[in-house]
A = this chain, B = another copy of it.
Amino acid sequence: MIRLLVTGGTFDKEYDEIGGTLFFKDTHLQEMLRLGRSRLDVAVETVMLIDSLQMSAADRARVAERCRDCAETQIVVTHGTDTMIETAAVLAGGVPGKTIVLTGAMIPYAFGSSDGLFNLGSALSFVQVLPPGVYVAMNGTHFPWNHVRKNRALGYFENA
């Protein structure tokens, strides 16, 4: 069984047509798993729904705690891309013996042209076959948490 921890990020942002702004309502992960015809045994758990620029040390500790405390040893974490690597470092320090894959999206799933479904398929696949450790799965690639950086100008992840 795979644990899927939702923290928010662009993945789950929606457009608020009254205010004309982006916001969070509910996670789209269950809908995405249905769309992908996933037959995996996945337990989806929303830990928080926030922009990763708003994520505090306490928030990251809470994600680490959920990773440690859940029964599953294969964990996917959906996360905003801006501070994904900071959270990955916290998980690497605090959750031994599990395979944890963080992923996100550059475009909200609800906007139709998102990379989210591709990234979700990728993260769920990597988590089933990689050895214990913490990884980022973006742009079709898996990066060890300590050898990756986000290229903010171009919007993709690369080796570091």
Contact = CB atoms under 8 A, between A and B. Distances in A.
Interface of A: 10, 15, 17-18, 20, 22, 32-33, 35-40, 51, 82, 106-108, 110-115, 117-126, 128-130, 137-142, 152-158
A112 B113 CA distance: 8
B152 A124 contact: no
Given A37-B106, A37-B118, A39-B140, 12 more contacts: A15-B108, A18-B153, A20-B22, A20-B82, A36-B118, A37-B155, A38-B139, A39-B156, A40-B139, A40-B141, A117-B118, A119-B121
Contact of A118 (B15, B38, B129, B157): B38
A123 to B, nearest CB: 8
Contacts of A40: 139-141
A135 to B, nearest CB: 11
Instruction: Kindly list the 6 A-B residue pairs having the minimum CB-CB distance in the complex, ordered from nearest.
Output: A112-B112, A36-B118, A121-B121, A118-B121, A125-B125, A121-B122
A35 B118 contact: yes
Contacts of A137: 125
Contacts of A112: 110-113
Contacts of A38: 118, 139-140
Contact of A125 (B106, B126, B157): B126
Contact of A140 (B20, B82, B121, B158): B121
